[in-house]
Amino acid sequence: MNTSLSNIKNFEQIFKDYYEPLVNFVNSRIHNIENSEEIVQDTFTKLWENREKLNIKTSLKSYLYQATRNSMIDFIRKSKNDASSLPEHMEFVDFEDKKVDVYLIRAKIEEALDTLKPKNKEIFMLNKFEGLTYKEIADYLNMSERGIEDNIARANKQLKKYLEKENLIENLWILLLVASSI
């Protein structure tokens, strides 16, 4: 059990310190403030309910961001299964007079990421999508920073090869820009 979570005053302070940054983190990906707040509130509710069972081995910040990321993924999966939450039309973004279907691009990025080994994918996503540093990831996964660096390089190489095969490499900067905004 994490002692900082068992005391209500400490928990309230953690909530005050991290609530807004976590909402901003989620909102930067799903672009809906109400849903972002709901996801973060859900994360803190689960944290409080499970405080007696938790054994946090990383920094509290890393744990909170990972827990929030997991809640966000659960929310997105649930939303995809709920037809009423799907957009009425596909969202398109203009890049240099080209219409880019962000959902199609996101699907291609997810396909490319699925070609990575699970640990390699997790490390890549923690760095590129969650913004964690190599040191934070190393601490979180109990690995060396050099191991994290090697995994990122391997993932970049494999993703580039996959995107070249799919004839998407010329639009890589568009893919990464769109992926980071979804």
Mention every residue, 6+ apart, whose C-beta is less than 8 A from residue 152. 123, 124, 127, 134
CATH 1.10.1740.10 fits 3-85, yes or no: yes
pLDDT above 50 for 1: no
Domain ranges of the chain: 3-85, 92-181
Residue-wise pLDDT tens digits, 104-113:
666 777 788 8
Q: Which residues pair with 95 in a beta bridge?
A: 98
CATH 1.10.10.10 fits 92-181, yes or no: yes
CA 42 to chain centroid: 16
pTM: 0.46
Please give the average per-residue pLDDT across 30-51, as a whole number: 88
Residue-wise pLDDT tens digits, 83-95:
444 344 334 444 4
Q: With 0-12 CB in 10 A as exposed, 13-18 as middle and 19+ as buried, what is 114? A: exposed
